[in-house]
């Protein structure tokens, strides 16, 4: 690395704590790692001898897989510990789990948890680095970093871009992290969705709330749709998926309002025909699969950087 | 006579008598007496010059956890903490295990209280097991010593049950203390809904969850003519409804807790569970309105909502942590901060912490008149101290006010003529 900036974060708990320089530094590092995934032997010895624990206390396949591949491509030893944070297994608390993991002396814990702030709690009981892989409705920093990286693959800079985020902002850690990241990088973030999906005082985070999807998408450089969480429908936030699709789904007609070179993004997995029409998700604007590829590179970069990669390299 | 105590040269503050003067206060046989000309031995004197001598403080909203959760607090440790904080009486909420919804639990609390460090006035449940369905037996509980009824911790969601509770309590001369919260609106919430909850990704409790219930209960108090007391008011919207109700002559009184006029939702910071309580810490605008309401008479009482929890309930994910903080040992200091900030004067503080709670609950206290039971608190308004896990008298340490400088403290507490807390020395060692 030749960047003058030095990465000083021990943990990656959220985008909130990162500076624009940090974000650029992570993305630059990720880019240098990206080509490793295209080699015939997709492995470098950089993190040999390091122990990475995947502590996933909420169901996740994609993010866990992405982190696991990232760690393995860097030659780290990975261990998976999964469970459910909703059902406290025989009274074992998160702190018990943390103490047990600490006793095994890992270098990094990658944590997914259903409750906001769980990685902050974990951090009070372990000595190693923690990477937040999603906590409640709080943050999902690696997702936001791979999203910014994907946009920067296509645009010079985020400064001045109009980025529309459509969907359930209130319950989306992806939306929260992206709002922090995009606004830090100078983009204008326009949110759309029914008011039942908008968190209190969301404009205080620097985002603009639009009255319609059309308003958000008009002139947009990037349109991101969020996954509707079907399991949340016991809480009456929307009357039906059908009605949501009609009023808030991203379709081709709507996309005509955006800039011609608009990028369409989705954190996945997509409910096709609900928040996004299939022809949009699979159309030429879509960078959804690039997001997945960049996900591995960003997670390699995060592991490298929290383990002090800059200093040893 | 050995039971004579003479508090010498204190600033005697007795709002009920309009008294504020440097004087001696004489106590004998558990009562306040008129000073006479007899010679007094030095060992009977305590020099309290520079300090305030006030009617014993009364905390009308505490959780003593006994019976059922003695690992958090007991009647003995909770009243000792009360004494250490300058309180001579507490009213304990009925959400024990089992719930204080009948004479058996009321009697148990009263029996255990005979050896306690403060007078204990149990609050009985509004409904059986605080289930919000059937009325508890108020007549029976009153006969055994309850001073009020409340389902505190749980809102009474049925307006009809609340109406009946007000009517029935009125017949028995008991105030109804409402924990004003619309449970449907607050469901899953764990902090104030606003910019901080959004930033932390935590489910919020809107200010309206309190205000709509305050509104409903005021309407029911107006309908029934019964005495409604609103517990732990936390929002500006509630204050507005309360102010209007008082103007219209509705029989309503209300309390707030020190944390609501001291802290805001920003105190949750990085998921600090010692800043989690219900109702939650609110916005700065709410905090300022609470302070205004304490000064203009809209709020009648400062009560702590002392809610002890062990690390088992607090060292966990924020959403899963129990609600509540301890408050008995920091209340005087936080109340005095209002005086230092010129929000209220000394007299008003004593009204809020002694005179008014006694009047609302209909219990002795709130007066230094000769002949009254000697419940007296001596406050050093300049005493600097820091509370820590080790110095707290309470069995629990769940407080956001630990490890920080506090100013103003009770240095002597006398309950029914007995010294229950003393940081001073009598004049002769
Ligand atoms: Zn309550």
Instruction: Give the Cα-Cα-Cα angle B157, B183, B189 (nearest 5 degrees).
Output: 170
Return all residues near A80 (Cβ < 8 A) that are at least 6 apart: A53, A54, A56, A64, A68
- CATH match of B5-52+372-427 with 2.30.40.10: yes
A-to-B residue pairs, Cβ atoms closer than 8 angstroms:
67
What is the distance between the alpha carbons of residues A12 and A9, in angstroms, rounded to a whole number?
7
Cβ B230 vs Cβ B180: under 8 Å: yes
Q: Find the residue in B nearest to A15 (Cα).
A: B199
On whether any CB of chain A is under 8 Å from the CB of B279, the answer is: no
What is residue A233's predicted lDDT score, i.e. its pLDDT?
Answer: 54
Domain boundaries, chain A: 15-139+293-306, 141-288
Structural domain A15-139+293-306, CATH architecture: 3-Layer(aba) Sandwich (3.40)
For the segment A195-210, what is each residue's pLDDT rounded down to a tens digit?
999 999 999 999 999 9
Q: How many CA atoms lie within 13 A of A286 on its CB side?
A: 19
Question: In terms of DSSP bridges, do strands B52-55 and B376-386 run parallel, antiparallel, or are they unpaired?
Answer: antiparallel
Closest C-alpha to B257, from B294, B208, B292: B294
8 Å CB contact between B165 and B174: no
Element (H, E) at A132: strand A129-135
Say whether B211 sits in a helix, a strand or coil: helix
pTM listed for this prediction: 0.94
Instruction: Please answer whether residues A175 and A205 qualify as being in contact, where contact means their C-beta atoms are separated by less than 8 angstroms.
Output: no
Residue numbers in A near B204 (CB within 8 A): 199-200
User: Quick check: B425 and B349 in contact, CB under 8 A?
Assistant: no
Cite the residue boundaries of each domain of chain B with CATH code 3.20.20.140: 56-361
Measured CA to CA, the distance from residue B308 to residue B80 in angstroms comes to 13
Which of B279, B292, B173 shows the shortest CA–CA distance to B239?
B292
Residues of B in contact with A202 (CB under 8 A): 198
Each residue's pLDDT tens digit, A143-182: 999 999 999 999 999 999 999 999 999 999 999 999 999 9
Catalytic-residue membership of B305: yes
Tokens standing for residue B275: 């800043």
C-alpha R_g of chain B: 21
CB–CB contact B202 A117 (8 Å) = yes
Q: Cβ-count burial of A109 within 10 angstroms (0-12 exposed, 13-18 middle, 19+ buried)?
A: buried
Over residues B178-183, mean pLDDT: 98
> Is the minimum CB–CB distance between A196 and chain B shorter than 8 Å?
no
Q: Where in chain B is the domain with CATH 2.30.40.10?
A: 5-52+372-427
Determine the distance from the C-alpha atom of residue B104 to the mean position of all C-alpha atoms in its chain, rounded to a whole number.
24
Q: How confident is the model at residue B428 (pLDDT cuts 50, 70, 90)?
A: very low
Q: Which residues of chain A have pLDDT under 50?
A: 1-3, 87-88, 312-313
Cα angle vertex B36, ends B35, B40, to 5°?
Answer: 90
B269 touches A: beta carbon within 8 Å: no
Check CB contact of B195 with chain A, cutoff 8 Å: yes
pLDDT digits (tens, 9 = 90+) for B133-154: 999 999 999 999 999 999 999 9
**Active-site residue (options: B14, B152, B305, B375):** B305
For residues B108 and B42, what is the distance between their CA atoms, to the nearest angstrom?
41
Tokens 């009308």 locate to B60
Q: Which fold has domain B56-361?
A: TIM Barrel (3.20.20)
Q: Does the beta-carbon distance from A137 to B202 stay under 8 Å?
A: yes
Q: Where are the alpha helices (DSSP H) in B191-235?
A: 195-200, 208-224
For the domain covering A141-288, report its CATH number: 3.40.50.1370
Mean pLDDT of chain B: 96
């Amino acid at each position: 690395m030749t960047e003058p900036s030095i990465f000083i974060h021990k943990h990656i708990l959220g985008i909130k704590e990162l500076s624009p320089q940090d974000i650029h530094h992570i993305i630059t590092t990720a880019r240098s790692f990206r080509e490793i995934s295209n080699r015939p032997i997709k492995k470098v010895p950089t993190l040999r001898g390091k122990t990475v624990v995947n502590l996933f206390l909420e169901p996740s396949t994609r993010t866990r897989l992405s982190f696991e591949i990232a760690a393995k491509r860097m030659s780290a030893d990975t261990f998976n510990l999964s469970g459910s944070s909703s059902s406290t297994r025989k009274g074992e608390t998160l702190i018990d789990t943390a103490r047990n993991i600490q006793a095994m002396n890992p270098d990094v814990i990658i944590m997914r948890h259903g409750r906001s702030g769980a990685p902050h709690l974990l951090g009070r009981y372990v000595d190693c680095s923690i990477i937040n892989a999603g906590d409640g409705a709080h943050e999902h920093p690696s997702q936001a970093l791979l999203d910014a990286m994907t946009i920067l693959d296509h645009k010079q800079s985020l400064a001045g871009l109009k980025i529309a985020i459509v969907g359930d902002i209130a319950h989306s850690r992806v939306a929260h992290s992206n709002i922090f990241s995009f606004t830090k990088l100078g983009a204008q973030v326009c949110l759309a969705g029914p008011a039942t999906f908008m968190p209190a005082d969301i404009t205080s985070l620097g985002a603009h709330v639009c009255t319609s999807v059309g308003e958000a998408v008009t002139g947009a450089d990037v349109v991101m749709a969020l996954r509707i969480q079907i399991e949340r429908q016991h809480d009456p936030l929307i009357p039906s998926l059908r009605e949501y699709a009609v009023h808030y789904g991203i379709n081709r007609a709507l996309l005509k309002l955006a800039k011609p070179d608009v990028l369409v993004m989705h954190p996945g997995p997509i409910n096709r025909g609900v928040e996004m029409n299939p022809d949009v998700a699979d159309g030429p604007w879509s960078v959804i699969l690039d997001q997945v590829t960049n996900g591995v590179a960003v997670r390699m970069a995060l592991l490298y950087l929290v383990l002090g990669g800059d200093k040893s390299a | 006579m050995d039971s004579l105590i003479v508090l010498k040269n204190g600033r005697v503050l007795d709002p009920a008598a309009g008294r504020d003067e440097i004087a001696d206060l004489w106590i004998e046989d558990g009562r306040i007496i008129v000073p006479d000309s007899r010679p007094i031995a030095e060992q009977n004197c305590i020099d309290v010059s520079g300090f305030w001598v006030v009617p014993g403080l009364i905390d009308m909203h505490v959780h003593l956890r006994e019976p059922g959760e003695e690992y958090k607090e007991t009647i003995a440790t909770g009243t000792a903490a009360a004494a250490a904080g300058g309180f001579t009486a507490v009213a304990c909420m009925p959400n024990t295990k089992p719930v204080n919804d009948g004479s058996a639990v009321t009697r148990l609390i009263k029996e255990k209280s005979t050896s306690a460090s403060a007078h204990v006035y149990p609050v009985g449940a509004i409904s059986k097991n605080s289930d919000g369905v059937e009325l508890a037996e108020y007549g029976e509980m009153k006969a055994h010593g309850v001073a009020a009824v409340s389902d505190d911790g749980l809102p009474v969601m049925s307006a009809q049950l609340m109406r009946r509770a007000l009517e029935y309590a009125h017949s028995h001369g008991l105030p109804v203390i409402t924990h004003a919260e619309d449970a449907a609106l607050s469901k899953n919430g764990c902090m104030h809904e606003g910019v901080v909850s959004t930033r932390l990704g935590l489910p919020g409790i809107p200010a309206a969850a309190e205000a709509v219930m305050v509104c409903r209960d005021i309407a029911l108090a107006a309908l029934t003519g019964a005495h409604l007391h609103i517990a732990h008011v936390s929002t500006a919207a509630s204050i507005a409804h309360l102010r209007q109700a008082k103007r219209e002559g509705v029989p309503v009184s209300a309390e707030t807790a020190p944390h609501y006029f001291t802290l805001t939702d920003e105190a949750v910071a990085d998921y600090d569970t010692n800043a989690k309580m219900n109702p939650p810490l609110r916005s700065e605008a709410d905090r300022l309105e609470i302070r205004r309401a304490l000064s203009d008479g809209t709020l009648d009482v400062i009560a702590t909502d002392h809610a002890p929890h062990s690390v088992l309930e607090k060292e966990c994910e924020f959403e899963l942590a129990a609600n509540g903080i301890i408050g008995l040992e920091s209340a005087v200091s936080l109340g005095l901060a209002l005086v230092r900030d010129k929000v209220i004067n000394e007299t008003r503080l004593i009204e809020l912490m002694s005179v008014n709670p006694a009047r609302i609950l209909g219990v002795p206290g709130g007066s230094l008149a000769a002949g009254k039971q000697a419940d007296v608190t001596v406050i050093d308004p300049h005493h600097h101290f820091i509370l820590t896990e080790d110095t707290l008298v309470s069995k629990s340490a769940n407080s956001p006010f630990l490890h920080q400088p506090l100013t103003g403290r009770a240095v002597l507490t006398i309950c029914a003529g007995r010294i229950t807390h003393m940081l001073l020395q009598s004049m002769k060692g």
